[in-house]
Chains A and B, each alone.
Chain A
Amino acid sequence: DVVMTQTPVSLPVSLGGQASISCRSSQSLVHSNGNTYLHWYLQKPGQSPQLLIYRVSNRFSGVPDRFSGSGSGTDFTLKISRVEPEDLGDYYCLQSTHFPFTFGSGTKLEIK
């Protein structure tokens, strides 16, 4: 299975500040069709996960442009600028290039 190493585990941030979360895969996530299936999710307290970014850098419908994704191959980053209270929760990366699909272990974004 592809191992997704997500860091940090916990990320204290100030409101209005910037946060960065890393996700590294144990093998390249470039599919044979040329696409890279690395996605980012936010799970707010008491809610189900919601898709933020799909295929590395594409914001899902309704996601503010404060969220941005980047990376390639095995190394990916989610950046959140101007952090707002509604951004708090658990962030996960997911790879769906290789079977079985696998998730990162999560990053808890909390107020400093």
Chain B
Amino acid sequence: EVQLQESGPGLVKPSQSLSLTCSVTGYSITSNYWGWIRKFPGNKMEWMGYISYSGSTSYNPSLKSRISITRDTSKNQFFLQLNSVTTEDTATYYCARAGSSFDYWGQGVMVTVSS
């Protein structure tokens, strides 16, 4: 069974970088697409971007200058880095297997941006 698990700090200071890891078991990240989605307080959901089986990436233009998604195929992990965060980046961050729909999700990690 495909399982995903996010990890990373729950508190980040404004202007710093947010870095999260998604560890995948039961499926190789060299197949399919792997994405990040976040849910804001108030319940709005936003697709942030994905990395493909080949390592190519696609990002939401609203984040394009701040976001980077990378991977380590030897560990079957992919990563999110979001730079220059503000309080508006406070959200629960999810990783998911993308494909044409997001079919398997991690449990999510809540990240608060605060000084």
Choice from A48, A55, A94, A106 contacting B94 with Cβ under 8 Å: A48
- Check A51 for interface membership: any CB of B closer than 8 A: yes
Dominant SS at the B interface? loop
B-side interface size class: 10 to 19
Query: Given A48-B108, A49-B94, A94–B43 Cβ distance below 8 Å?
Result: no
Residue-wise, chain B 57-92 has the 8 Å CB interface mask toward A (1 for contact) of: 010111000000000000000000000000000000
Interface string of B22-49 (1 = CB under 8 A from A): 0000000000000000000001111100
**Smallest CB gap from A99: residue in B:** B58
Contact A51–B103 (Cβ < 8 Å): yes
User: Would B105 and A50 count as touching, CB distance under 8 A?
Assistant: yes
Q: Is B115 an interface residue (CB 8 A)?
A: no
A105, B101: Cβ atoms closer than 8 Å: no
Quick one: which of B46, B60, B105 contacts A49, CB cutoff 8 A? B105
B19 CB within 8 Å of chain A: no
**Which residues of A from 26 to 76 have beta carbons under 8 Å from B?**
35, 37, 39, 41, 47-51, 54-55, 60
Total A-B Cβ pairs within 8 A? 50
Name the one of B58, B62, B101 contacting A55, with C-beta atoms under 8 angstroms.
B101
Q: Is A96 an interface residue (CB 8 A)?
A: yes
Contact status B43-A37, CB under 8 Å: no
Option from B94, B100, B106, B107 in Cβ contact (under 8 Å) with A54 = B100
A100 and B101: CB pair below 8 A? Answer: no
Taking a contact as CB atoms under 8 Å apart, the answer to whether A35 and B100 are in contact is: yes
1/0 contact trace for A68-112 toward B, CB 8 Å?
A: 000000000000000000000010101010011111011000000
Q: Are A48 and B107 in contact (CB under 8 A)?
A: yes
Take A35-B100, A49-B94, A90-B43 as given contacts and tell me if A100 and B105 are in contact as well, using a CB distance cutoff of 8 Å. no
Q: Are B103 and A37 in contact (CB under 8 A)?
A: no
| CB<8 Å pairs between A and B, sample of 11 | A35-B100, A37-B101, A48-B94, A48-B105, A48-B106, A49-B94, A60-B103, A96-B101, A102-B47, A103-B44, A106-B43
A interface residues with partner B (beta carbon < 8 Å): 35, 37, 39, 41, 47-51, 54-55, 60, 90, 92, 94, 96, 99-103, 105-106
